[in-house]
Structure 1
Amino acid sequence: MHCPVCGHDCVTDARALLTELPGRFAPCPDCTGLVYDKQSPPPDIDAAEPCPSCGKRFIDEVFADIYRVMVGEGDLSGAEPLAAAGTPLIHPGHSLQRAPYLPSRSLVLLSRSVGDRAAARLVAEVPEVRGVVRTGAGTPGISDTDAAPMMYTLLAGCDVRADVFSTRRGPVVVYKQQSALHVEFPRGRNEKILALEREIGRCRPRTFVDACSGAGTLGIAAARAGVPHVICNDAWYAAACWTACNLQVNRESLGIEEVTIHRSYDDLRSRPVAQDPLLVATAAGREEVHVYQGDLRLLPAVLPPEIDLSALDLFEKADTGKVGRITRAWQARVGGVIFIP
């Protein structure tokens, strides 16, 4: 599938990705790897080469390689601990029982310290690195439609990666551009999905609205659970774009016959924060799904009547006053059962 960030085939359908997942990060009988102390600099030894049999390398060896490149370019002094190089995000992300052995192009590096020259070298010289992102203060996305959007900087390669989340009906695959959307790495339990499944079990909804959809995890999980009509919305362009993309990725397991994309990635990026809801994508089949980009406070104008269940996963849940105002307004205009994941 065409990747909107780099133009290559970074995005594959869920079936293909899940088929190779069980052994993707497992060592072969010939693999070896040293475990390094993350709170100390790596030892002054030559970097291990990928396994000649399977091409994988233990993650600590890969990170030591990353660290040495950053020291060579002056981004680190060599006195910092190994963990100072940054945060590794594997592709695809899923719950692991032990540290992974990485195949080629399976890691996106998030780092506050990395510079342009080191990033280019990492993608060119470290075979496991698929993309390098320089992070900053805050979290990618928006806290409100009148707030300045926040993005990290993709320095080299491609930062599109997938996460695999478990649901009662089976796994869902969620792709995202990591410089534009927050990290939501899968663990053994996903409390938001569990909350959604509890509400679906209680309400038996025919229509579900995820008013702050992010990359579409809850909406796709609701469709996977058999909710006939799902509506996803987010004011942030990257969230709406990747929700639409993830409908295509998961279409087989969702029983979707066709996904129609109404707005391209470049079109959405040209207006990164939307007010009035704009239809981004529609999906038809066993389930019907609509994806919008817009302010959730204006979304009721385009919603069908009799919404049974809504999720309001607001970015800043700590602001209880704001959450209360939005929830009361939604209840008055839309009705149905509301829950905050």
Structure 2
Amino acid sequence: MSCPVCGHDCVEDASTVLAKLPGRFDPCPDCMGLIYDKRSPPPDIDTAEPCPTCGRRFIDEVFAHIYRVMVDEGDLAGTEPLAALGTPLVNPGFAMRNPPYLSPGSLLLLSREVGERTARRLVSGVPEVRGVVRTADGTPGIRDTGLEPLEHTLLAGCDVRADVFPTRAGPIVVYKQQSVLHIEFPRDRNEKILSLERQISRQHPRTFVDACSGPGTLGLAASLAGVECVIYSDAWYAAAYWTAHNIQVNREALGIGEVKFYRSYNDLRRSPVAREPVPVASAEGSRVYQADLRCLPAVLPPEIDLTALDLFGKEDSSRVARIARAWQSRVGGGIFIP
């Protein structure tokens, strides 16, 4: 599938991603790598090159290489700890027992310190780096449609990557553009998915609304668990777009055919925050909208059995309770907060 960010083939069907997963970041017998203290600068020794046999390199060696480029460009003084570089995100992300040996194009760097020139050098000169994102304060997306959205800045390369999440019915593959969507770290146990599966086991819903869908993780898990009709919605353009794309990515596991898209990535980006519902895509048993949560009931079927309200800012319990009461009065059915 063509990537909307870089135009290359960054997005693959879930079955292709999963087939490549075993041993994806394991070392071959010829691999070697040093473990560095993340609380200190890397030692003043030559950084190891990628393995000549498999082309992989231990993540600490890659980070040391990145560190030296950032020092050379003046983004770091050379006294900062290795951990000061930022957040490394592998592609694809999945629960791993050991630190990874990275293949070319498998690492996305999120950093507050990195500059544009450095980012270009990293993408062109560090083979494992697929993209570099400069982070801002806060989480990408929107807390409320009345507030300004937040985006990080893609400086170089591509920031589209996949995460693999376990469900009782099998894994799902969730793509996202990381500069505009929040980070989800895959674990052996995903508490949100487990909570959803418990709700489905208790209530046996025929209709489910993933009302703040993000990239669609909970809705995909509901479909895989056998819910007949899943409606996804998010007011943020990137969430709505990648939700639709992720239905397409997982369509084999979901047992569906064609996914019909009504809006392109560029269409949605022109109006990044929606109030009134905008149809984005549909497939057998699935519909995706870009919509304000408060306006979504206008396009819902008359009987909704279960809704997940996975809101930003769940620590504000009075706000969450107010939104849940308003939803209950208009839509009804069961509600749970993942």
Structure 1 segments, 4+ long, off by >6 Å, are: none
1:181 matches 2:178: no
User: Per-residue deviation at 1:86?
Assistant: 1.0
User: Per-residue deviation at 1:306?
Assistant: 1.0
Tell me, in whole angstroms, the C-alpha distance in 2 between the residues paired with 1:269 and 1:102: 32
Letter in structure 1 aligned against 2:321: G
SS at match of 2:23: helix
1:333 matches 2:330: yes
1:313 matches 2:310: yes
- TM-score, normalising length: structure 2: 0.99
Identity over aligned residues, as a percent? 71
Tell me, in whole angstroms, the C-alpha distance in 1 between the residues paired with 2:37 and 2:297: 53
User: Per-residue deviation at 1:201?
Assistant: 0.2
- Once the two structures are superposed, what CA deviation does each residue of 1:59-97 show, in whole Å capped at 9, x if it has no partner? 000000000000000000000001111110000000000
User: Per-residue deviation at 1:117?
Assistant: 0.7
Tell me, in whole angstroms, the C-alpha distance in 2 between the residues paired with 1:131 and 1:230: 33
1:299 matches 2:296: yes
Letter in structure 1 aligned against 2:277: P
SS at match of 1:314: coil
SS at match of 1:24: coil
Tell me, in whole angstroms, the C-alpha distance in 1 between the residues paired with 2:188 and 2:119: 32
For residue 152 of structure 1, what is the aligned residue in structure 2?
152
Equivalent positions of 1:16-35 (< 5 A) are: 16-35=16-35
Letter in structure 1 aligned against 2:297: P
User: Per-residue deviation at 1:135?
Assistant: 0.4
For residue 324 of structure 1, what is the aligned residue in structure 2?
321
Tell me, in whole angstroms, the C-alpha distance in 2 between the residues paired with 1:72 and 1:234: 42
Equivalent positions of 1:97-108 (< 5 A) are: 97-108=97-108
Letter in structure 1 aligned against 2:253: S
- TM-score, normalising length: structure 1: 0.98
For residue 44 of structure 1, what is the aligned residue in structure 2?
44
Tell me, in whole angstroms, the C-alpha distance in 2 between the residues paired with 1:25 and 1:147: 40
User: Per-residue deviation at 1:185?
Assistant: 1.1
Tell me, in whole angstroms, the C-alpha distance in 2 between the residues paired with 1:304 and 1:179: 34
SS at match of 2:21: helix
For residue 217 of structure 1, what is the aligned residue in structure 2?
217
Tell me, in whole angstroms, the C-alpha distance in 1 between the residues paired with 2:169 and 2:102: 29
User: Per-residue deviation at 1:46?
Assistant: 1.1
Tell me, in whole angstroms, the C-alpha distance in 1 between the residues paired with 2:228 and 2:192: 20
For residue 56 of structure 2, what is the aligned residue in structure 1?
56
SS at match of 1:258: coil
For residue 80 of structure 1, what is the aligned residue in structure 2?
80
- Once the two structures are superposed, what CA deviation does each residue of 1:179-213 show, in whole Å capped at 9, x if it has no partner? 00010110121110000000000000000001000
User: Per-residue deviation at 1:318?
Assistant: 1.6
For residue 112 of structure 1, what is the aligned residue in structure 2?
112
Structure 1 residue runs of 5 or longer lacking an equivalent are none
SS at match of 1:142: coil
Letter in structure 2 aligned against 1:261: F
Letter in structure 1 aligned against 2:290: Q
User: Per-residue deviation at 1:305?
Assistant: 1.1
Tell me, in whole angstroms, the C-alpha distance in 2 between the residues paired with 1:237 and 1:129: 26
SS at match of 1:31: coil
SS at match of 1:248: helix
Letter in structure 2 aligned against 1:329: A
Structure 2 residue runs of 5 or longer lacking an equivalent are none
SS at match of 2:258: strand
SS at match of 2:164: strand
